[in-house]
Chains A and B, each alone.
Chain A
Amino acid sequence: MSSRRTFTRPGRIAAIAPYLWLALFFLVPFGFVLKISLSQTAIAQPPYLPVFDLTQGWEAIKPALAALSLDNFRLLISDNLYALSYLRSLFVAAVSTSILLVIGYPIAYGMARLPRRWQAVAMMLVIVPFWTSFLIRIYAWINILQHDGLLNQVLLALHLVSAPVVWLSTDSAMYLGIVYSYLPFMILPLYATLAKIDPALLEAAGDLGSSPRQAFWQVTFPLSWPGIGAGVLLCFIPIVGEFVIPDLLAGSNSMMIGQTLWLEFFTNKDWPVASAAAVVLLLLLLAPLTFYDRLQRRQLEGAR
């Protein structure tokens, strides 16, 4: 009885809205990408074949469908440039996410233990950098890291180095940029989870014989898993597809998949191969997403 009457009519429309949104702005464009990934490159406008012309009716579309092929995906496998790009992306994302977790967890933990009114201030401090454009902040880093930039000046002034160090166009610079840019995405979900943990639980652990350090590992840490999961995914997934930061800060000897995609799309004008690379990236990212989904479902079941 209650299940049928869960939603009133406007309620039902509101419940459908997110799906409509997803269909319109995710599923339909993904259909385009998938179709292009199965097409052949061509010197034409648009630069691929076949083109579906819906105005010509079903008879015209049938041969076009027959012209679709998996050639682009075969190319992705045969040329290890792509495989290396994927691996580098996953590697960079994994390393960056680990660094983010190691830095972000103590910050979030510290924030959650601040007195209430200072928590809001700390939250502002985490968010405020977002008010400046992302690109400007990355360019600012270039400025700091360049040959006669602020970092080298400070290091020289402190006599820590005798000659300017090359920072730009190195992996260190890229990791620095990524960690800097994604830190709030790690801190905020962790903070939200940690702040919710009842302090009485830590007292209970202490009362039952845990030292403060033991209480952290036995109570706080296990209870912060949802936050860790959310923070890791929020960072890992976009970092895998990251383009701007590696392009501006890293060297040009190895590329992340975002850069390879850009190259195929804009330099080589090979839309079909770029689309195929994008489809594969999406499939790769489905794995951690499914994992997170299962984690969340378990949490929900636990909560019942």
Chain B
Amino acid sequence: MADELPKPEPRVDVTDVPLLRIEGVTKKFGVFRAVDRLSLDIRAGEFFALLGPSGCGKTTLLRMLAGFETPDQGRILLNGRDIAQVLPHRRPVNMMFQNYALFPHLTVRENIAFGLKRAGMPRSEIEKRVAGLVALLKLQGMEKRRPDQLSGGQKQRVALARALARQPQVLLLDEPLAALDKKLRESTQLELMELQRRLRMTFIIVTHDQEEAMTVAHRIGVMDNGRLEQVATPRELYEAPNSRWIAEFVGDVNMFEGQVSSREAGRLTISTRDAGTIVAAEPRQPTPKAAVCVAIRPEKVKLARRGPASDSVNSRAINRLEGIVTDVSYLGGLTTYKVKLDTGAVVRSSMANTARLEFDSYMASQRVVAWFTPDDCVVLEQ
């Protein structure tokens, strides 16, 4: 059944021409710039996530792709054609709405078939397409129900089926899972990925949930104040944030401000007020300024009762911070610790509970050494 479903024709020049090119797009509401001179390329078959705090402009951008808002400046090229001024019903793009926006007066079948009827598809073909989508999204037996007779998860799947029915070149998803509870959300994320992989369709999802973005997307664009702060794979975003804001927005981080005191052989020595001298690997793009901050993810900070056994190559470089454990949170898979350094600053560490018995655990008020290697540090401009 699923084989009859949306399968975009193979495209030529996939590598060179992006499917969707956003060029210097600006959208103002009064004097407020919701989207500010934003440019972005999205490749065919990509699962792209727009991530950002509320009010960052990600939904406005998505609505401009759907055609509900018109950019004040800039172009939106889909397969090379500028669609910035094209009305929503004339765009080969479909959207899954945040609260699903299912038609309450129509059955599940009629909701899914809505867009196909508008396209003037013959009846028999509509039947076939709807049946395929019903099977794909496991909606068998629900065809005659109305939206208010469905659970949240079922509504979500109907909305997805309806948006997929027209085999859009780009599927837009506006916070598609926000209304689901955590467990269902996680399983639905996996289903979404599976679906996207199978249909080889281009998905653009808007979300404020970074875990969701990291789970489903190939690439993530992080937005703030109407601009893209960074566009990167989930791993890059987490391990190599390009700004302090990104480092703090995505995941947890320990942040120390300081001055670069020496540079040598790919190593920076940074003197900080809170954590003494930190030796960090030189970032890929060297920071010209002396005032920097050092970001270290909590899981990169390891705790030890004594200093770690000195290793002949790196011993000089390993960063050690001494302090007292003040807080222990056991979360099952990991335990997070807060360590109050002798300087008064707090360092967070999270460690995987790899052994069932308490070999490696630390107690509050225990004196420990928190250590990390130069490669664990990300040096950013302040």
Contact = CB atoms under 8 A, between A and B. Distances in A.
B94 interface: yes
A205 B118 CA distance: 9
Contacts of A302: 104-105, 146, 148
B88 A200 contact: no
A208 B105 contact: no
Interface string A198-231: 1011011111111100100011001100000000
B122 to A, nearest CB: 16
A303 interface: yes
A206 B119 contact: no
B149 interface: yes
Q: How many of chain A's residues touch chain B, expressed as a range?
A: 20 to 34
B99 A208 contact: no
A204 B118 contact: no
A207 B89 contact: yes
B249 interface: no
A98 to B, nearest CB: 24
A139 B139 CA distance: 63
Interface string B90-129: 0001110111011111000000001100110000000000
A304 interface: yes
A219 B118 CA distance: 13
Instruction: Find the residue from A208, A211, A214, A304 having the highest chain B CB count within 10 A.
Output: A208
B118 A209 contact: yes
A7 to B, nearest CB: 26
A219 to B, nearest CB: 6
A206 B93 CA distance: 11
B40 interface: no
A207 B95 contact: yes
A281 B159 CA distance: 49
Contacts of A200: 97-99, 101
Interface string A170-200: 0000000000000000000000000000101
Contacts of A207: 66-68, 88-89, 93-95, 115, 163
Contacts of A209: 89, 115, 118-119, 166
Contacts of B68: 203, 206-207
Interface string B141-165: 0000010110000000000001101
Contact of B89 (A210, A223, A304): A210
Instruction: Find the residue from B94, B101, B115, B162 having the highest chain A CB count within 10 A.
Output: B101
B290 interface: no
A279 B162 CA distance: 53
A208 B93 CA distance: 9
B114 A205 contact: yes
B115 A201 contact: no
A198 B101 CA distance: 8
Nearest to A206: B88
Interface in A227-249: none
Interface string A62-84: 00000000000000000000000
B67 A206 contact: yes
B148 A208 contact: no
A58 B119 CA distance: 77
A204 B101 contact: yes
B170 to A, nearest CB: 12
B178 interface: no
Contact of A208 (B87, B104, B162): B162
A303 B104 CA distance: 9
Main secondary structure of the interface of A (DSSP, over half): helix
A206 B87 contact: yes
Contacts of B99: 198, 200
A87 to B, nearest CB: 35
A173 to B, nearest CB: 40
B42 to A, nearest CB: 18
Interface in A270-304: 302-304
A214 B118 contact: yes
Contacts of B67: 206-207
B103 A203 contact: no
A3 B54 CA distance: 44
A219 B94 contact: no
A201 B149 contact: no
A304 B146 CA distance: 10
A44 B212 CA distance: 87
Interface in B159-193: 162-163, 165-166
B61 to A, nearest CB: 16
A200 B97 CA distance: 8
A77 to B, nearest CB: 43
B115 A208 contact: yes
A27 to B, nearest CB: 36
Contacts of B163: 207
Contacts of B87: 206, 211
A201 B95 CA distance: 12
B210 to A, nearest CB: 25
B89 A222 contact: no
B186 to A, nearest CB: 26
Given A210-B118, A302-B148, A303-B148, A203 B97 contact: yes
Contacts of A211: 87, 89
A302 B103 CA distance: 13
Contacts of B94: 207-208
Interface in B282-317: none
Instruction: Find the residue from B89, B99, B162, B166 having the highest chain A CB count within 10 A.
Output: B89
A206 B63 CA distance: 12
A218 B110 CA distance: 12
A203 to B, nearest CB: 6
A220 to B, nearest CB: 10
A203 B101 contact: yes
Given A203-B97, A207-B94, A218-B114, 4 more contacts: A211-B87, A214-B118, A219-B105, A304-B148
